[in-house]
Amino acid sequence: MSIIKPRIYLASQSPRRRELLKQIGIHFEMLLLRSSSGRSSDVDETPYPDEQPEVYVRRVCQTKAEAGYAALRMRNLPVFPVLTADTTVALGGKIFGKPDNAEHAGEMLRQLSGQEHKVLSAVAVAMGEHVEQVVSVSTVRFAPLTEARINAYLRTHEYADKAGGYAIQGHAGAFIEHISGSYSGVMGLPLFETVELLRRFDYPTP
């Protein structure tokens, strides 16, 4: 008789989130939303007018979790918890999503230069009709950035698909003077909060 290890589905394309789950020994399988029948793209992450950052990140994460569990059932996959996450950067209440291109990323970095901003990472787990979520909020302070440093960073293309146009674990780590909160949360998956959330679903965690 084979013993099936406890596992979850990760409904995220982020390689950073995969790395972080592996780091703490969580067994998971990928569940890509865009490949489900009748869906041509991922969940719409466009903020609503005047939507506050925490309300936004919670809403998007919840929608991803619900869509992920619906995709699981549609494909008749074995039932395990579905984990999703969403991260956004906020400066003065303004939401900084993923940049459209290098020019857009440059605009974001110029606004973040020399400023303190928030990084909000929401994590949700769905199992049947039951969905729970948590939000990690970290404060990050950038050093003043010269045009030369910004342009050099843009040439790395590291800004692509990153909230706020930067990744703390990459070259932009050199921009950060101070961080208060969760390093893994700024990466995109706060590990402490993720483990606490999985425990609510009786998943064996470290």
Topology annotation, domain 8-199: Maf protein (3.90.950)
How many angstroms from the chain centroid is the CA of residue 18? Answer: 11
Residue whose pair of structure tokens reads 């998007």 in the numeric block? 60
pTM of the model: 0.90
Query: Quick one: pLDDT at residue 129?
Result: 87
What is the C-alpha to C-alpha distance for residues 153 and 109, in angstroms, rounded to an integer? 10
Which sequence spans correspond to the domains of the chain? 8-199
Active-site residues, by number, are: 86
The shares of helix, strand and coil residues in the chain, as percent rounded to the nearest 5, are 35, 25, 40
Query: Quick one: pLDDT at residue 148?
Result: 98
Quick one: pLDDT band at residue 157, thresholds 50, 70, 90? very high
